[in-house]
């Protein structure tokens, strides 16, 4: 049986990690325990992060919001600061797994797991979020798009953990949209997903656009070409259908048990069309 350690502060965690470098950290365990039981990882012991207050909860830091890595998805769904400032993130979490998994799973676990289908990732990319990484000696920040380097691969050194994620408030975005296409309504792994944050002028022209697709590449896909193609245009279906062709070229999906690469490519483009309905801002 694997020993489970329950540090209550970061200082205690650093002691545990330094005592035995083969100690794996986890929060909700909804990814880690699956990998452990499947024999894909073999840590000598586990350190659970959920009792460390410093890395839990949501904090208003003025121009930005800090979300602790060990904050559960359920907590984020119920947080009014998150839903008012970042509705695109709330919309994504609402369709992440099921209530039981959302009660256990955390945003930090979703980020470090680095699945291209991770539901919080497209919103975090579209919001230009930054990941805060800490060790006993150092704290540093980097864009989530630099932190994640491939499926399941992140820039995290020995004895470092993710402390949390920083998201700048961006009230100028008045259209915030998330949609996930899966093989069923609930507890569905994304076949393709899109997070979008747009600013529409009074006259209905797109002034700023940030778009991020999940499950259509080794990591979340953003495309400067697609974002630029939207600028100065009105949010109407014909224009979106035109730009959807660029999306099909920008993504690089693979065939897997859930869908073919070609199907994913088409869906990624079609997801853009839904933005026409989002002309009603939210
Ligand atoms: C039945 C089921 C359905 C699911 N459905 C979905 C879904 O629809 N959408 C989706 O996105 N995901 C889904 N998942 C995956 C999972 O629930 C999420 O990725 C969740 O956010 C993981 O969080 P966690 O706290 O449980 O991670 P953990 O399992 O605790 O950790 C995951 C990984 O991150 C590392 N880690 C965790 N926290 C930190 C930290 N602070 N610093 C450094 N490393 C850390 C761990 O070492 C581990 O490698 C599902 C899982 C299950 C079992």
CB 111 within 8 A of CB 131: yes
**Is residue 170 predicted with pLDDT exceeding 80?**
yes
Q: Which atom of ligand 1 is nearest to the CA of 55?
A: 41
What pLDDT digit, counting tens, does each position of 3-17 carry?
Answer: 999 999 999 999 999
- The answer to whether 131 and 142 are in contact (CB under 8 A) is yes
Region of 166 (left: φ > 0; alpha: ψ -120 to 50; beta: rest) is: beta
Express each pLDDT in 59-106 by its tens digit: 999 999 999 999 999 999 999 999 999 999 999 999 999 999 999 999
Alpha-carbon distances, residue 269 vs 22, 36, 251 (angstroms):
43, 37, 9
Mean pLDDT of 192-219: 96
The answer to whether domain 53-168 and domain 175-279 are alike in fold is no
pLDDT of residue 256 exceeding 90: no
- Sheet strands (E) in the chain: 3-5, 23-26, 45-48, 58-60, 64-68, 130-134, 139-143, 148-150, 153-154, 161-168, 175-181, 192-200, 206-214
What pLDDT, on the 0 to 100 scale, is given for residue 279? 55
pLDDT, mean of residues 236-243: 96
| Record: fold of 175-279 | Enolase-like; domain 1 (3.30.390)
161 lines ligand 1 (CB under 6 A): yes
CB 206 within 8 A of CB 177: no
* Residue 280: predicted pLDDT: 44
Per-residue pLDDT, 282? 45
Rounded distance between C-alpha atoms, residue 106 and residue 82, angstroms: 15
Taking the C-alpha atoms of residue 35 and residue 17, their distance in angstroms, rounded to an integer, is 20
Higher pLDDT, 280 or 238: 238
Spell out the residues 6+ positions from residue 19 whose beta carbon is closer than 8 angstroms to its own: none
- Whether the CB-CB separation of 231 and 207 falls below 8 Å is answered with yes
Domain residues of the chain, as ranges?
Answer: 3-48, 53-168, 175-279
- Spatial contact of 156 and 134, defined as CB atoms under 8 Å apart: no
Query: Of the candidates 146, 112, 92, 116, which has an alpha carbon nearest to the alpha carbon of residue 219?
Result: 116
Please give the class, per CATH, of domain 53-168.
alpha beta
Predicted local distance difference test score (pLDDT) of residue 190 = 85
Distance CA(82)–CA(60), nearest Å, equals 10
CA distance 89 to 260: 27
Identify the residue whose C-alpha is closest to ligand 1 atom 8. 97
Q: Which atom belonging to ligand 1 lies closest to the Cα atom of 156? A: 43
Q: Is 11 exposed, middle or buried (0-12, 13-18, 19+ CB in 10 A)?
A: exposed
pLDDT given for residue 186 in this prediction? 78
pLDDT in tens, 172-197: 999 999 999 988 877 888 899 999 99
Longest dimension (CA), the chain: 64
Distance in Å, CA 203 to ligand 1 centroid: 42
- Tens digit of pLDDT for each residue in 105-161? 999 999 999 999 999 999 999 999 999 999 999 999 999 999 999 999 999 999 999
233, two tokens: 């245009």
Write 254-261 long-range contacts (CB < 8 A, 24+): 258/182, 258/183, 258/189, 258/191, 259/183, 259/191, 259/192
- Going from the Cα of 118 to the center of ligand 1, the distance in angstroms, rounded, reads 9
Ligand 1 and 215: CB distance under 6 A = no
């Amino acid at each position: 049986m694997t020993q489970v350690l329950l540090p209550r502060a970061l200082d205690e965690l650093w002691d545990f990690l330094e005592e035995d470098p083969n100690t794996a950290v986890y929060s909700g365990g909804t990814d880690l325990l699956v990998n452990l039981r499947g024999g894909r990882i073999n840590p000598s012991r586990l350190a659970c992060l959920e009792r460390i207050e410093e890395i839990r909860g949501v904090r208003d830091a003025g121009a930005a919001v800090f979300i602790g890595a060990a904050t559960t998805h359920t907590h984020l769904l119920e947080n009014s600061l998150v839903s008012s400032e970042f509705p695109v993130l709330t919309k994504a979490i609402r369709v992440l797994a099921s209530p039981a998994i959302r009660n256990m799973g955390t945003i930090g676990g979703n980020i470090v797991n680095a699945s291209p289908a991770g539901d919080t990732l497209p919103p975090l990319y579209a919001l230009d979020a930054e990941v805060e990484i800490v060790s006993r000696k150092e704290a540093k920040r980097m864009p989530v798009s630099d932190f994640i380097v491939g499926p399941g691969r992140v820039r995290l050194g020995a004895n470092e953990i993710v402390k949390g994620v920083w998201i700048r408030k961006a009230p100028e975005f008045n259209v915030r949209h998330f949609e996930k296409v899966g093989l069923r309504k609930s507890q569905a792994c994304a076949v393709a997903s899109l997070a979008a944050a747009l600013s529409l002028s009074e006259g209905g022209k797109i002034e700023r656009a940030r778009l991020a697709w999940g499950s259509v590449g080794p990591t979340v896909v953003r495309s400067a070409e697609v974002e630029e193609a939207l600028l100065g245009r009105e949010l109407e279906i014909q224009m979106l259908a035109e730009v959807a062709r660029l999306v099909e070229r920008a993504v690089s999906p693979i065939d897997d048990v859930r869908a073919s690469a070609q199907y994913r490519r088409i869906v990624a483009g079609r997801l853009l069309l839904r933005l026409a309905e989002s002309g009603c801002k939210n």
